[in-house]
Amino acid sequence: MRLKTLLEAWWILLFFALLAVAGAAFSAWLWWFFLLLFLFTVAFFRDPERTPPPDPSVIVAPADGTVMDIVESDENQVLKKRTRRVGIFLSIFDVHTNRAPIDGRVIYRQHQAGLCLDARRADCSEKNESMTWAFENPRVTIVVRQITGAIARRIVAWSQMGDELKKGERFGMIRFGSRTELYLPLNAEVLVKTGDHVLGGSTIIARLPD
């Protein structure tokens, strides 16, 4: 368990712990109920170590979750050109830490206010609250967008503009169910398909051409 990630949940854990203690005075069932909520929260904020593939030509998943769609899309914030977007839905059972898809420097970080629609909706990418990141190295610039969902209401940013990150290194997280999008160059070979479950920092999403 990574302390920095777990600290994002300190007040939630304290709240459930206090409710468990108070509930024990009234009913064993209440004690068990709030204890289970406490343990679920601990499990939700788990943050396992991952070993990224060393090949510099591969791009890894920025988040754990299920690939919901792979479509061509205009990326208008940073790249301002046509890209291939891979949308990953994070359920409440997935690890919610976000990780750098490549070795690179953070050249863009921009929060955008919005709604909190269900992250499985097709229009959530444009309407929901989000945080857009761009990672650049001499070979490519990759954009990642963190998007809130109906339950997720907090995007956490750990990295700053100018930070140099290694592939698979954590740059932030989204609390509870949400969506993370990866914008790839059109000449990248996508190696996943819709319905695949991917692991942030280790599953290879795409390969850059030689």
pLDDT digits (tens, 9 = 90+) for 5-35: 888 888 899 999 999 999 998 999 999 999 9
Residue 210 pLDDT? 85
Residue 151 pLDDT? 66
The domain limits of the chain are 3-44, 58-207
198 neighbors 50 (Cβ within 8 angstroms): no
**pLDDT above 90 as % of the chain:** 75
pTM of the model: 0.90
Mean pLDDT of the chain: 92
36's enclosing H/E stretch is helix 28-44
Give the CA distances from residue 181 to residues 128, 166, 174, in Å, rounded to whole numbers and listed in that order: 13, 19, 13
Strands 81-90 and 65-75: antiparallel
Would you name the residues annotated as active-site residues? 178
Query: Which tens digits make up the pLDDT trace of 49-69?
Result: 999 999 999 999 999 999 999
Query: Measured between alpha carbons, how far is 137 from 123 in angstroms, rounded to an integer?
Result: 31
Q: How confident is the model at residue 1 (pLDDT cuts 50, 70, 90)?
A: low
Is residue 127's pLDDT more than 60? Answer: yes
Q: Which class is 58-207 in CATH?
A: mainly beta
